Chain A
């Protein structure tokens, strides 16, 4: 079909208008965050719009590290992230592999349970788990945050692995088994290397869910400042001392939480979609 060049032109202009206006609206809060993070203390309380700060207060960034135990928050957060990644890489892949490839009695029932837990709202587990961990004396420790993660307690990751593993051709599996490769060997030597996209995608999820988690650290670590994560530290900065005059430091802290996420997504983005949707990509 040949389009009239003028209609085509109008169409293109409309498309770019919508996209540009939309993108600007989406980016304004982030731009304002960066700008506010670079404002001096007396500039943030001026009631006039100033998008490019003058002077630019780079010193806000090192100052926040002095004013708040950022390194300690980061270390605590990374402990949870590490547990999360371990769970995502080892127990979850094994379970995903078993659901995809090992015939064992009751597999479909177990898989049905797995799917059902994906729909289970966290609210019905919140209070009993808190009482349980309180009973065994684990509140105010990392225990409640890392034990579920170490066990790979995440139905979503297992489901993604299972879908991906099912897409790996049966022939490859059979020939490996005929050549005398064990079940464990097939998992380690064949499935893992072939599964980089889904591994990358799940790793991104595991990292970001642990990095962003707020409610669990709040409930279990809220009263133990030593173990606060970045999310708790940021909330405290805005909640208790967050009078308008520390707005710049709040934005510095926000940037510190955003930048690692941007880096992770930048390097992982090409896997993110293929890992989640391309269970058929290896079929052809």
Chain B
């Protein structure tokens, strides 16, 4: 090793390879830029430019026949949305209703089942798989399965209800049952969050529990003062993603009840309204304004959550790998 180093020093070979490496080392900054270039190009084309253009569109009257520059109409789209659009309030109500149930229920189920699975008794791998598998089912497949499963006459659920002597429900064709059906479908996929919780639970150091046990802490104490505080970053993460996703719920509803939103439009969620305005009525400017409002709601909500998070999210030593 020594010898080879020495010989390298006395006789610096100038080969194409070494020149290339030298060049490479000198231009690290350039190479760094080169490596992030594809992402950055994508960011400009698919994020930044559309975002700005969308904002611009929302102040115009861009419709299907519009040729050239769409006419600038200021805040007219927004005024119309807030004063004249009955479906705006309705779709917002439906969306908030949906996520008001589905997001907390998913979190609670996912957390409780993860807690039980983390007890490490025999057969847990099997149970973990069984709870997880439905969340792997592609959303389109899960939705058409539920369309059949909840079918009034031939679906499993009603046939089962009849079997046990209960009254069957028109799950997808009565205004009262549509939103619960959608919530049911979203609950079926709680396995993804459960796995994230499980990973978090398994990374809690065992000596914390031992210390608590020595101090005479009961199982309840351990849960309340060790597990839950240490899991708050994971809970926060799942809550944030759940809310952002919940506001944008679309595919399930589109497939399950169609673009009209079902009877009395009880299933018309916000994204469906945006979709209809853009791709059914071709009122792109108006639809862009609707999307900007949704963006602002999500943005403010995210900020509020992040801002209040330092009151209840425990970051302890979780941050030591940052910086």
Contact = CB atoms under 8 A, between A and B. Distances in A.
Interface of A: 1, 12, 15, 18-19, 22-23, 26-30, 32-33, 36, 44-49, 91-92, 94-95, 97-99, 102-105, 107, 110, 113-114, 117, 119-132, 148, 151-153, 155, 158, 166-167, 180, 182-184, 208, 211-212, 214-215, 218-219, 231, 234-235, 237-239, 242, 244, 247, 250-251, 253-254, 257-258, 261-262, 265, 272-273, 276-277, 279-280
Contacts of A208: 136, 138
A29 B255 contact: no
Contact of B130 (A26, A166, A276): A26
B154 A91 contact: no
Contacts of A155: 39
B130 A238 contact: no
Given A151-B39, A208-B136, A215-B251, 16 more contacts: A18-B116, A29-B149, A94-B35, A104-B31, A117-B43, A123-B294, A124-B50, A128-B53, A151-B38, A158-B39, A237-B144, A238-B147, A254-B141, A261-B137, A265-B136, A276-B199
Nearest to B109: A22
Nearest to B27: A183
B35 A182 contact: no
B39 A132 contact: no
A48 B223 CA distance: 45
Interface class of chain A by DSSP? helix
25 contacts: A26-B133, A26-B188, A26-B191, A29-B156, A49-B156, A102-B32, A104-B28, A104-B30, A110-B40, A114-B43, A123-B274, A124-B51, A124-B292, A153-B47, A155-B39, A180-B21, A183-B28, A184-B31, A211-B138, A219-B279, A234-B144, A242-B147, A247-B148, A261-B136, A273-B198
Interface residues of B, number: 88
Given A12-B121, A28-B156, A29-B188, A128 B33 contact: no
B295 A235 contact: no
B29 A128 contact: no
A24 to B, nearest CB: 9
Contacts of A182: 20-21, 24-25
Given A95-B38, A122-B248, A151-B38, A27 B130 contact: yes
Contact of A153 (B43, B133, B292): B43
B151 to A, nearest CB: 7
Contacts of B116: 15, 18-19
B172 interface: no
Contacts of A36: 148
B304 interface: no
A15 B292 contact: no
Contacts of B133: 26-27, 30, 262
Interface string B215-245: 0000000000000000000000000000010
Contact of A104 (B33, B149, B244, B321): B33
Given A29-B188, A247-B148, A104 B295 contact: no
Which residue of B35, B51, B153 has the most chain A CB atoms within 10 A of its CB atom?
B35
A238 B43 CA distance: 36
B144 A254 contact: yes
A166 to B, nearest CB: 7
B67 interface: no
Interface string B1-30: 000000000000000001011001100111
A119 B299 CA distance: 8
B234 to A, nearest CB: 10
Contacts of B33: 98, 104
Interface stretch (B84-92, B98-106, B175-183, B283-291): B283-291
A91 B39 contact: yes
A22 B133 CA distance: 13
A277 B213 CA distance: 28
Contact of A110 (B24, B31, B36, B57): B36
Given A29-B134, A127-B291, A22 B29 contact: no
A26 to B, nearest CB: 5
Given A148-B42, A215-B250, A251-B145, A262 B113 contact: no
B41 to A, nearest CB: 6
B154 A113 contact: no
A132 B284 CA distance: 12
B78 interface: no
Contacts of A214: 139-140, 251, 255
B127 interface: yes
B247 interface: yes
Nearest to A117: B47
Contact of B41 (A117, A120, A151): A151
Contact of B39 (A102, A119, A152): A152
B32 A258 contact: no
A103 B28 contact: yes
A98 B251 CA distance: 35
B154 A235 contact: no
A125 B54 contact: yes
A265 to B, nearest CB: 5
A180 B24 CA distance: 11
Nearest to A43: B154
B24 to A, nearest CB: 5
Contacts of A98: 31-33, 35-36
